[in-house]
Chain A
Amino acid sequence: MTNTTERRTPSYRMAIFFYAFMTVLVLLYSLPSIGVLLASLKSTAEISEVGVWTLPRSFDLTNYSEAWNGGSAGLYIRNSFFVTLPATILSISLGVLAGYTLCKLPFRGSNALFVFFVAGLFFPPQIALIPLFRLFNDLGLYDTLWALILIHVAFGIPICTLIMKNFFSAVPTAIREAGIIDGANEWQILTKLMLPLSLPALAVLATLQFTWIWNDFLWPVILIRSNEMRTVMVGLASMKGQYSVAYGVQSAMAVYASIPTLLVFVFFQRYFIRGLTFGSVKG
């Protein structure tokens, strides 16, 4: 009983300590973003004179307009969307189908198949650089966004299958049986019963996949040659010359590039933590 009393009157001091500690952590974690924001409002000359960590002398959006016009941020962001949205949707859809089948409709060898799917997670993409380059080259997909979409769907299937299978295994099989008794077919059970219950898992996957694909750098560097097909992360890196710096404009571009992932996270945030634990502890 003493325990519950203590819990009802939490130590005021502990709370202060907790919030102070959290404030410090928040500051620490947001320092890089603050640095980028400050740099994006300064010219290179100002940065070289006073450094990044001072307030800008004037509220100057030159870097932002330069990144948008000279740096073609708009084009790059559009390309990134053209890759990220279809790849996210496709990889999650395939993951849902594979996860559902492996979990609720097991067949001989389905466990081995599951291991096969998940093994993709342990496969470093770098070892496939040259074979995949040649493949897409022969398919005529080199230097197109299709190549990136295919790659990200393929590399997204393992994690999507893993999380969806684990999530479905937490959903009572009785629900499926009830559906069958009421005359639903497998497709209706999946779309009408299972998917509405799996919103947290879908939100997690959508956030993770979107962020990963959006931030991917390796594949667009390898599979894209022309400036018109660049994704935003490659565009961001190419603003810096061999011996020249573009701190301000690059920071502005980085701010543009982070807005979509930020929005996705804010939108799915309330599902995110719940879904993460769902996927990870149930096995």
Chain B
Amino acid sequence: MSIKKLLLVLALLLVGVTVVAAQQEVSIVHYYSSDLGSATMAKLFDGFTAANPDMKVVDNSAGHEDFKTQILVTIAGNNPPDLFSYWAGARTQFIVEADRLMPLTDFWSDNDLDSIIPAGVKPASIYNGDVYNIPMNVHIVGFFYNPKVMAAAGVTSMPTTWDEFLAACEAIKASGVAPIALGSMNRWPAQYWLDYTVSRTAGPEFRQQLMAGEVAYNSPEVATALEAWKQLVDAGYFVADANAYDWTDAADQVANGEAAMTLMGTWITGYWDGNGLKPIDDYDFFPFPAINPDVPMVVHGSVDGWAVPASAANPDGAKALIMHMLSPDAQATWAVGQGALAAVSNVDPSIYSPVMKKAADYLGSVAFLSGYDLSTTPPMADAGLNMFAQFMNDPSGYMAYLDEVEVVAVDVFKK
């Protein structure tokens, strides 16, 4: 082969390489691995590549429990994806502390995300003063109830105060149905009871201090909160043996009319809709009632967001993909597919079922705080979750449990 021909071949190869290289890859790892979750995600990626023909999304998903280990190893091992789904709260904080995430503060202000992401949700994005987690969807926790059981017990308007709540429970119990279902087999479903009893009695500020280890678990404020919870257990308002059931069992108990309500996240609507239940007719929603009228109301729940690793190969592609996923259309597709609330306020509200609409309105009206296991460090959360299970087993020793948990807290927060 002559030199000329060789050069020609090399030139052609080079052109070929640049053509291929012109199509950028954006690699993403997320925990939406179920059939529906991965299919809906794929729809959003198709929309993104249609709008950006020079980009290609490398889509990978992992079951959410496996994801927790996998993502930490890939980040520590220096081969992270360009972006990944992550829970806002203590988990994001952990990677921020390790200096492995890219700050997205400029990205936030350049795209004026303040105008579309509700102010109540924004704090979930900020760590050590910078933005590190861009919300994708929000789930909030409240009471989901069976309207037929409520009506049969004569409860027509949903309680907004603690006294009304107790009266409703008493009426439901008198009608021969357990007022409250709880499936705390996997511990976390019980945590929302602590979240709400603390933030409704001592207030959201105290609750955040408790999560950060700045106040003690065996302080009188937490004891008061557990008193309120214990009052319900002692009165026999909970279905017996909560620790023997999973949250789906509790959902089934409400759906089948064996219990009236359960304190759960909006994801329960996805489960019920899948089982053929109809919103409003078969299930409905009301927020956790006020206990101490003097403290500001908050809503607990979880934010699923996106984080960009500090060593991402294609951060611009990652940011472009995030912006695509925050567009009203993508958000609507995602919220409907996930049974979640959109993270942005400019989606068409008609996408929501009437029950989800109530949840969305409530989220828009109060400040948002993540749930217990996403708000405090994982070792602390582990001790706390054990305590809730212990509490549901026998609430009488709650003061001793709090003392034990405080021992862990002192160690975890190096007080």
A residues adjacent to B (C-beta < 8 A): 44-45, 48-49, 66, 70-71, 129-130, 133-134, 137, 142, 217, 221-222, 225-227, 234, 237-246, 249
The residue of chain B having its C-beta at the shortest distance from the C-beta of A247 within the complex is B248
- CB of A133 within 8 A of CB of B77, answer yes
CB pairs A–B below 8 angstroms (17 shown)? A48-B248, A70-B35, A130-B77, A133-B74, A134-B77, A221-B62, A225-B70, A225-B74, A238-B63, A239-B63, A241-B34, A241-B37, A242-B32, A242-B37, A244-B34, A246-B35, A249-B35
- CB of A137 within 8 A of CB of B78, answer yes
Q: How far is the CA of A134 from the CA of B77 in the complex (A)?
A: 5
- CB of B79 within 8 A of CB of A246, answer no
B residues adjacent to A (C-beta < 8 A): 29, 31-37, 58-66, 69-70, 73-74, 76-79, 81, 139, 248, 251-252, 255-256, 265, 267-268, 270-271, 274-276, 304, 339
Looking at the assembled complex, report how far the CB atom of A63 sits from the nearest CB atom of chain B, in whole angstroms. Answer: 12
- CB of B265 within 8 A of CB of A129, answer no
Looking at the assembled complex, report how far the CB atom of A69 sits from the nearest CB atom of chain B, in whole angstroms. Answer: 11
- CB of A243 within 8 A of CB of B267, answer yes
Q: How far is the CA of A51 from the CA of B94 in the complex (A)?
A: 39
- CB of A239 within 8 A of CB of B34, answer yes
Knowing A48-B255, A221-B69, the reply to whether A240 touches B77 (Cβ < 8 A) is no
Knowing A130-B77, A238-B61, the reply to whether A221 touches B66 (Cβ < 8 A) is yes
In the bound complex, residues from chain A placing their C-beta under 8 Å from that of B248 are: 48, 245
In the bound complex, residues from chain A placing their C-beta under 8 Å from that of B77 are: 130, 133-134, 137
Knowing A225-B29, A238-B63, A240-B63, the reply to whether A49 touches B252 (Cβ < 8 A) is yes
Looking at the assembled complex, report how far the CB atom of B45 sits from the nearest CB atom of chain A, in whole angstroms. Answer: 13
Looking at the assembled complex, report how far the CB atom of B394 sits from the nearest CB atom of chain A, in whole angstroms. Answer: 27
Q: How far is the CA of A240 from the CA of B61 in the complex (A)?
A: 12
- CB of B78 within 8 A of CB of A134, answer yes
In the bound complex, residues from chain B placing their C-beta under 8 Å from that of A44 are: 274-275
The residue of chain A having its C-beta at the shortest distance from the C-beta of B87 within the complex is A242
- CB of A244 within 8 A of CB of B275, answer no
Looking at the assembled complex, report how far the CB atom of A243 sits from the nearest CB atom of chain B, in whole angstroms. Answer: 3
The residue of chain B having its C-beta at the shortest distance from the C-beta of A226 within the complex is B60
- CB of A130 within 8 A of CB of B274, answer no
The residue of chain A having its C-beta at the shortest distance from the C-beta of B27 within the complex is A225
In the bound complex, residues from chain B placing their C-beta under 8 Å from that of A129 are: 73
Q: Which of B35, B37, B60, B251 contacts A225 (CB 8 A)?
A: B60
The residue of chain B having its C-beta at the shortest distance from the C-beta of A228 within the complex is B60
Looking at the assembled complex, report how far the CB atom of B212 sits from the nearest CB atom of chain A, in whole angstroms. Answer: 25
In the bound complex, residues from chain A placing their C-beta under 8 Å from that of B61 are: 227, 238
- CB of A243 within 8 A of CB of B265, answer yes
- CB of B35 within 8 A of CB of A142, answer no
- CB of B33 within 8 A of CB of A241, answer yes
Looking at the assembled complex, report how far the CB atom of A9 sits from the nearest CB atom of chain B, in whole angstroms. Answer: 49
- CB of A240 within 8 A of CB of B34, answer yes
In the bound complex, residues from chain A placing their C-beta under 8 Å from that of B256 are: 49
Q: Which of B64, B252, B255, B275 contacts A241 (CB 8 A)?
A: B64
Q: How far is the CA of A129 from the CA of B36 in the complex (A)?
A: 31
With A70-B35, A71-B35, A133-B76 given, can you name 5 additional A-B contacts, CB distance below 8 Å? A133-B74, A133-B77, A238-B66, A240-B63, A244-B36
In the bound complex, residues from chain B placing their C-beta under 8 Å from that of A130 are: 73, 76-77
- CB of B69 within 8 A of CB of A222, answer yes
Q: How far is the CA of A27 from the CA of B248 in the complex (A)?
A: 27
Q: How far is the CA of A221 from the CA of B256 in the complex (A)?
A: 38
- CB of B65 within 8 A of CB of A244, answer no
Output the residue of A44, A130, A134, A238 with the most chain B CB within 10 A: A238
In the bound complex, residues from chain A placing their C-beta under 8 Å from that of B36 are: 241, 244
In the bound complex, residues from chain B placing their C-beta under 8 Å from that of A70 are: 35
Q: How far is the CA of A88 from the CA of B143 in the complex (A)?
A: 52
Looking at the assembled complex, report how far the CB atom of B132 sits from the nearest CB atom of chain A, in whole angstroms. Answer: 20
Q: How far is the CA of A227 from the CA of B252 in the complex (A)?
A: 33
Q: How far is the CA of A73 from the CA of B410 in the complex (A)?
A: 48
- CB of B74 within 8 A of CB of A244, answer no
Q: How far is the CA of A250 from the CA of B79 in the complex (A)?
A: 30
Q: How far is the CA of A241 from the CA of B63 in the complex (A)?
A: 7
The residue of chain B having its C-beta at the shortest distance from the C-beta of A137 within the complex is B79
Q: Which of B29, B63, B70, B276 contacts A222 (CB 8 A)?
A: B70
Q: How far is the CA of A48 from the CA of B56 in the complex (A)?
A: 40
Q: How far is the CA of A242 from the CA of B276 in the complex (A)?
A: 20
Knowing A227-B61, A245-B248, the reply to whether A45 touches B35 (Cβ < 8 A) is no
In the bound complex, residues from chain A placing their C-beta under 8 Å from that of B63 are: 234, 237-240
Closest 10 CB pairs of A and B: A241-B34, A243-B267, A238-B33, A133-B77, A238-B63, A237-B63, A45-B275, A242-B64, A221-B66, A48-B252
Q: How far is the CA of A246 from the CA of B58 in the complex (A)?
A: 25
- CB of A237 within 8 A of CB of B60, answer no
Knowing A241-B64, A243-B265, the reply to whether A45 touches B34 (Cβ < 8 A) is no
Looking at the assembled complex, report how far the CB atom of B401 sits from the nearest CB atom of chain A, in whole angstroms. Answer: 28
In the bound complex, residues from chain A placing their C-beta under 8 Å from that of B59 are: 227
- CB of B73 within 8 A of CB of A133, answer yes
Knowing A130-B73, A130-B77, A245-B248, the reply to whether A237 touches B37 (Cβ < 8 A) is no
Q: How far is the CA of A244 from the CA of B248 in the complex (A)?
A: 9
Q: How far is the CA of A239 from the CA of B32 in the complex (A)?
A: 9
Knowing A48-B255, A221-B62, the reply to whether A242 touches B74 (Cβ < 8 A) is no
In the bound complex, residues from chain B placing their C-beta under 8 Å from that of A217 are: 66
Looking at the assembled complex, report how far the CB atom of A61 sits from the nearest CB atom of chain B, in whole angstroms. Answer: 17
Q: How far is the CA of A129 from the CA of B271 in the complex (A)?
A: 36
- CB of B35 within 8 A of CB of A234, answer no
Q: How far is the CA of A109 from the CA of B248 in the complex (A)?
A: 60
Q: How far is the CA of A274 from the CA of B265 in the complex (A)?
A: 54
Looking at the assembled complex, report how far the CB atom of A261 sits from the nearest CB atom of chain B, in whole angstroms. Answer: 21
Output the residue of A133, A225, A227 with the most chain B CB within 10 A: A225
Output the residue of A44, A70, A244, A246 with the most chain B CB within 10 A: A244
- CB of B79 within 8 A of CB of A142, answer yes
In the bound complex, residues from chain A placing their C-beta under 8 Å from that of B267 are: 242-244
Q: How far is the CA of A9 from the CA of B18 in the complex (A)?
A: 87
Q: Which of B35, B60, B251, B304 contacts A239 (CB 8 A)?
A: B35
Q: How far is the CA of A242 from the CA of B41 in the complex (A)?
A: 14
Looking at the assembled complex, report how far the CB atom of A238 sits from the nearest CB atom of chain B, in whole angstroms. Answer: 4
In the bound complex, residues from chain A placing their C-beta under 8 Å from that of B276 are: 45
In the bound complex, residues from chain A placing their C-beta under 8 Å from that of B270 are: 243-244
